[in-house]
Structure 1
Amino acid sequence: MNGSPKIPIKNIYYMLCYAWNVLEQSDNIFLGSEKFDNIYNLFARIYINGTSSLIKRGFSRYYIHENEVTSTLKGKINISDSIKTHIFYNGSMICQFDDFSEDIKLNQIIKATINILIKSPQLDVNLRKKLLKTRLHFSDIRDIKLSKALFSSLRYNRNNYHYRMLINISELIYYGLITNEDDNEFSFSDFIRDNQMAKLYERFVLNFYRVHLDGTIYNVHSPKLKWNLDEKINEKDLSLLPEMRTDIVIENKFKNTQLIIDTKYYSQTLVSSNWTEIEKVRTAHLFQILAYVNNSNFTGDIKGMLLYPTIEKEINANFPILGKRIEIRTLNLNTEWKDISDRLLSLVL
């Protein structure tokens, strides 16, 4: 029997905090002992707590350049446009001015996300009421539709970094939970799509090690590896080779060891073939981690690891191949958070 990895909703919250580097914000939107039966209630609670903190702090504002028809002078007159439109004859003019406004992309995205959550049929009634009350604070913010281009255009700095957790939740809802949007009506998925969970899983593991491993001993990064070619080739041919972008690389500076971890978020850890019912490691996964290990230019001891979420049973398999050690490991995400933390640390320490 196979299925998507089972993850308690609370553990997804912790994974989000690590994946998005917002552990320092988790206290501001702490969920306490509250239990959640679906992902929408979790996100709604995060939004209620997060926007409460945002409202107390005050919405971020930017200067927005405005062109407005008015009967009173505001800023400077746009003489050219006023003449072209003959608006002077009506006793009005077009003025240009900079408005210090809270009607900016970050606040618009948050309002749009609140509107989406309110429409979710799975949302708890009390949480919906709280979101409706929260939305009143966004009355001066325009309604917009979320889009890929909108999220791509965002830039963070020290003045708006506190928005990041809420915006990332918005992005995850947009990409991972909404299956269809038509005339402001939404179709909702019961679970976050596996492709989005795979990204979350990878980022969580990477940042977990960045947070918990001693930086004076370990170097945790995710470098792009170069192919160890026998001879130099032209750029055109080189561009045909697949990129080797690692998920997590952990180097022990004192022991001179390198561990390359490739996270795999799949509903099946092992698979059978047309020729046998015996379940085995996916060939593509094994070849991928072998390519990483064999092309690493690290001068010390190198080993690779495929890290899957636990589906039915834990796997701790080791394969010595061509002088390199390849490990297959699983991480049970359906357990207490301390057990998850201990398991991850045991893979390295």
Structure 2
Amino acid sequence: MKPAKIPIQNLYYLLAYAWDHFRSGEEVDVDQTQCPNAHNLLAMLLGNGIRRLATRGMDKDYHQFIETTPRLRGRVDVLASYRRMTHISGRMICEFDELTVNTLPNQILKATCRRLASSASQLTKSNRAEMRHALSLLADIEPIHIDSRIFRRYQLHRNNRHYRLLMHVCQLLHELYLPSQESGSRRFRNILDSEVVMHRVFESFVRQFAIRHCPDAKVSAMKINWKGAWEDEVDKVLPSMLTDVTLNRPSRKIILDCKFYRDALVTRHNRHRLHSAHLYQLTAYLNNKSRDEGWEAVEGVLLYPAVNHHLDLDFRLLDYAIGIKSIDLDQSWPKIHERLLTVLD
């Protein structure tokens, strides 16, 4: 049993919500010719975003430069100049700050575009042209080596927060950039083939959807404390409990756990059953959180993408209300919207 294939247009909506970039009332018709798959969708988002940056103005920051120059500017390092005897030729060592577009976010953009350009066989003709144009717009940016750590180094602030979507695209493309079967070459894996990546997207999508469409609830990823008695050394090794989505309403509390699995049900002896680990995890959340005041009647929901068996089960377990739900990501977006509202209600 596998989740139905997600149409590219719906994948765009998932990413837009997950990255908090969805515009209310927005309806997007993604060009199937330009975006036949997820890889090309990300390339299109990146190319279009860089075009808008070039029109709006690239992010700039002050960088310190040290230069031996006949034109005095900034702070003149007299001691270093005389030590190196640059003054004999009429030049001095100067330190100065200069506003430049050669910032880390722009360097990440250029490195990602170069990777996309090197995997041109995976891109449509229009997206290959977009990447070439994007690289021409980033011509003044120094190339850098891109790795996972670099995405923790850049900082977004009020003046460059419009880079957020593009940084998400770059990070996702980095995570999908893997060695191919051809020796020495690399290619981009399909996002839908990565359960780890899609689980994160699916979870963030549901949480951001709830924030936007459940105004009567406080929505969060909540940390739950274990209830018990132990010494400090035990506390250090206890696993953390962090919910995917928690809806805190005055009259109703729901802990929702999102599961993006190829097989939402386990098949044994021609019988389909729930993953026991998923149910154990949810009941652990409920059992510990229900000890807090006001959370005694907390409910739990396991939410899966659509599977061959539509899941819409409600029952009580250990006196907790439990829901096992699925959402078909292969249907039209208005139906997905309506179904998710029903699950979150």
Shared fold (TM-score, shorter chain, > 0.5)? yes
**1:333 maps to what in 2?**
329
Please report how far the alpha carbon of residue 183 of structure 1 lies from its aligned counterpart in structure 2 after TM superposition.
Answer: 12
Q: What CA distance in whole angstroms lies between the structure 1 residues aligned with 2:96 and 2:137?
A: 25
Please report how far the alpha carbon of residue 277 of structure 1 lies from its aligned counterpart in structure 2 after TM superposition.
Answer: 3.9
1:295 to 269, 278, 288: 288
Amino acid at match of 2:201: L
Q: 1:194 and 1:33, CA in 2 relative to 1: closer, same or farther beyond 3 A?
A: closer
1:263 to 258, 271, 289: 258
Q: What CA distance in whole angstroms lies between the structure 1 residues aligned with 2:63 and 2:117?
A: 29
Q: What CA distance in whole angstroms lies between the structure 2 residues aligned with 1:300 and 1:167?
A: 41
1:210 aligns with 2:211: yes
Identical residues among aligned pairs (%): 30
**2:130 maps to what in 1?**
130
Amino acid at match of 1:290: T
Please report how far the alpha carbon of residue 189 of structure 1 lies from its aligned counterpart in structure 2 after TM superposition.
Answer: 1.4
User: In the alignment, is the contact (CA less than 8 A) between 2:173 and 2:188 conserved in 1?
Assistant: no
Count of paired positions: 337
Q: What CA distance in whole angstroms lies between the structure 2 residues aligned with 1:305 and 1:289?
A: 8
* Ranges in structure 2 where 5+ consecutive residues have no aligned partner: none
Q: What CA distance in whole angstroms lies between the structure 1 residues aligned with 2:168 and 2:25?
A: 13
Q: What CA distance in whole angstroms lies between the structure 1 residues aligned with 2:270 and 2:20?
A: 42
Amino acid at match of 2:150: L
User: In the alignment, is the contact (CA less than 8 A) between 1:48 and 1:130 conserved in 2?
Assistant: yes
Please report how far the alpha carbon of residue 58 of structure 1 lies from its aligned counterpart in structure 2 after TM superposition.
Answer: 0.5
User: In the alignment, is the contact (CA less than 8 A) between 2:113 and 2:135 conserved in 1?
Assistant: yes
Secondary structure of the 2:105 match is helix
Q: 1:17 and 1:280, CA in 2 relative to 1: closer, same or farther beyond 3 A?
A: same
Q: What CA distance in whole angstroms lies between the structure 2 residues aligned with 1:207 and 1:164?
A: 15
* Ranges in structure 1 where 5+ consecutive residues have no aligned partner: none
**2:341 maps to what in 1?**
345
User: In the alignment, is the contact (CA less than 8 A) between 1:219 and 1:250 conserved in 2?
Assistant: yes
Q: 1:339 and 1:183, CA in 2 relative to 1: closer, same or farther beyond 3 A?
A: same
User: In the alignment, is the contact (CA less than 8 A) between 2:3 and 2:306 conserved in 1?
Assistant: no
Secondary structure of the 1:201 match is helix
Q: 1:24 and 1:10, CA in 2 relative to 1: closer, same or farther beyond 3 A?
A: same
Secondary structure of the 1:154 match is coil
Q: What CA distance in whole angstroms lies between the structure 2 residues aligned with 1:264 and 1:33?
A: 26
Q: What CA distance in whole angstroms lies between the structure 1 residues aligned with 2:310 and 2:10?
A: 19
User: In the alignment, is the contact (CA less than 8 A) between 2:3 and 2:305 conserved in 1?
Assistant: no
Please report how far the alpha carbon of residue 26 of structure 1 lies from its aligned counterpart in structure 2 after TM superposition.
Answer: 10
Please report how far the alpha carbon of residue 208 of structure 1 lies from its aligned counterpart in structure 2 after TM superposition.
Answer: 0.2
TM-score calculated relative to the size of structure 1: 0.89
TM-score calculated relative to the size of structure 2: 0.90
Please report how far the alpha carbon of residue 207 of structure 1 lies from its aligned counterpart in structure 2 after TM superposition.
Answer: 0.5
Secondary structure of the 2:172 match is helix
Please report how far the alpha carbon of residue 163 of structure 1 lies from its aligned counterpart in structure 2 after TM superposition.
Answer: 0.6
Q: 1:310 and 1:223, CA in 2 relative to 1: closer, same or farther beyond 3 A?
A: same
Alignment of 1:59-138 (within 5 A): 59-120=58-119, 121-138=121-138
**1:235 maps to what in 2?**
232
